[in-house]
Structure 1
Amino acid sequence: MHPDAQPVPPVLVVRPDGSLLFGNINRVRLAIRDQVEAADPPPTALVLDLSGSYHLGVPVLDTLEELYEDFQRRGIALHLAQVRARAATDLDRHPLGTRLGEQAHHLTVGDAVTAATRST
């Protein structure tokens, strides 16, 4: 989407192809984990672009919370970018929304990367 985009280590940006759903969230979780493991240098922050997700169901939010907890143990900050209105409402109703806080919600991927680099 952005041919001029350049990596900003140690921030890893991930954008799933399509909406996060009950049927694909585990595969997406494993793919994110693999990308984190393969990153060199190891990331200190992960930006998850949720622009493809209009709704976040409880199984998706529970799995994202598991990722968040894993990242916390490993010293990796989680930032969410381009969270659509309905998905933001879903997130606000889930404990993950409180745990992440507003400082981890960003309008754009660029804003999220900027925030992530400031906090590392």
Structure 2
Amino acid sequence: MGVRIAFIAALLLTGCENVGIAPNPAGAEAAARGRVAAERLGCGACHVIPGIWPAGTSGPSLENFRHRAAIAGRYANRPDRLADFLLDPSETAMPRQPMSARDAADIAAFLHSAPQSANAR
């Protein structure tokens, strides 16, 4: 019995390693293209996006977006799901934007790689 408890304790302790959040696999090039696409498509007209002008307020702020649990309150906040949402924001207040699948993936990479702002909660 004592060996079993020691084994379980060892398993539990090895599972406590702090592995952190996995980095965005898209890379810096995709994020840089995403910033350009967000500017070109005028995303800042409705959203506050760090480093993007203007800073609109009709849509939700996208500061610290990568730390949110959900996209539009309904989808898991992952870059692939965000790209899908950007291409088809049906049943939300966000209007559909004329963007390619690459634009959407790059904007998702940009929002998921943006540094956390000082306003983080």
TM range (shorter): under 0.3
TM-score (norm 1): 0.24
TM-score (norm 2): 0.24
* Bigger share in strand: 1
* Bigger share in helix: 1
